Amino acid sequence: MQDVEQLVYWYSGLYLQPQHFQSIDLHHSFMLARTRQLSQPHYQGYYECRINEDLLKEDTVRIEKIKAVLSSGYYIEYPGNCVVQDKCLTNLRGTDTSIVNLWLALKRFNSAHKNVSSANDKRCSTRWVSSDDESNMRNVYHDSQDTDITRIRYDIQIITDEEKNNTTDMEYLPLTRIIHNNNTLCIDNECSFPAMRLSANSKLRDRIAEIYSDIEFYKNKLKAYRYTERTVSDGHLYDLLILCAINKILPLLSSFIKEDAVHPWLYYIALCQFAGEISAYQNSVFSDTRIVDLSYNHYDQISCFSNLQY
């Protein structure tokens, strides 16, 4: 915590300056961001992300809506507390570049430099930009005269890998991957941004639903042995134990799927536990199961679940 982010000492007779209120803002923002960082593993990512795919035909990347937490723990929302400029990719025309990774970038807070600039001032990037016009605000606690308020918003930029390598003092969050083919742009369906809930990424949600359906299918298949077999040979015992493992994991996954706020990481560790349990019977039903890396990669979630599935 920097000095400017610490609590202000209020006392009688204090002559108020803008710095007092700035410090209070910074303190509360820092404490809230720090709470997000410590609340759970893999806290950075998107709660919602929508990109206008129609504008890709015009070589332009436009964000329609985002709700995300940066690696610093700060929350951004568009439209809301930030501005995001469109990204023009016309420079890809006539080049051999086939894949472009895009990132969200935000200038880090620096108490030794200017942190706010005007929306029309493009000489340098800052953490915040002030609104062009003051907005009228009424006294929401009491009946009194309205006043004009100038707001500031986070200045979010969309940058490429090359631009990322040439910038300093910024924090980044992966956005998407663009495929450039035959002078047209499209979003790479194999690329997944770090999602904080299933509704943020339809491809990830579909993959988890597919895994759930596969497990449910095997459950119904194994249930038949309970009524057709009366012996307790080794093979049938393995089937029974696997069925018990499936009956434990399905209600948990079903509850997770119904709760949109559940982090994908929780789905993953539950499935890893299930995979570890049934791997004890690999000499029987799962003798052909291949060995895969089951470590969780928050920035490549779809591949993680694909490894578990197959």
Shared-domain flag, residues 179 and 209:
no
Residue 49 sits in the same domain as residue 155: yes
* Residue 262 within any structural domain of the chain: yes
Domain contains 186: yes
Q: 79 lies in a domain?
A: yes
What is the number of structural domains in the chain?
3
For 209-236, how does the pLDDT look when each residue is reduced to its tens digit (9 = 90+)?
899 998 888 888 877 766 555 555 555 6
Query: Are 29 and 60 part of one and the same domain?
Result: no
Range ranked top by mean pLDDT from 66-75, 193-202, 288-297: 66-75
Whether 84 and 161 map to the same domain: the answer is: yes
Q: How far is CA 236 from CA 40, 216, 223, 247, in A?
A: 41, 19, 11, 17
Same domain, 65 and 110: yes
Residues 55 and 163 in one domain: yes
Whether 28 is covered by a domain: the verdict is yes
Domain-located, residue 196: no
Give the chain's mean pLDDT: 85
Find the domain containing 32 and state its range: 1-39
**Do the domain assignments include residue 31?**
yes
pLDDT of residue 2: 86
Mean pLDDT of 242-265: 88
Same domain, 114 and 225: no
pLDDT given for residue 229 in this prediction: 53
Are residues 304 and 209 located together in one domain of the fold?
Answer: yes
Identify whether residues 8 and 86 lie together within a single domain: no
pLDDT recorded at residue 283: 53
Which residue, 191, 211, 230, sits at the end of a domain? 191
pLDDT tens digits along 63-72: 999 999 999 9
Q: What average pLDDT score do residues 153-159 get?
A: 94
Q: Same domain for 210 and 149?
A: no
Last residue of a domain, one of 191, 209, 226: 191
Residue 31 and residue 48 in one domain: no
Same domain, 153 and 225: no
pLDDT at 28: 94
The more confident residue out of 190 and 253 is 253
Does residue 91 lie within any of the structural domains?
Answer: yes
Domain end among 166, 191, 216: 191
Residue 293 identity: D
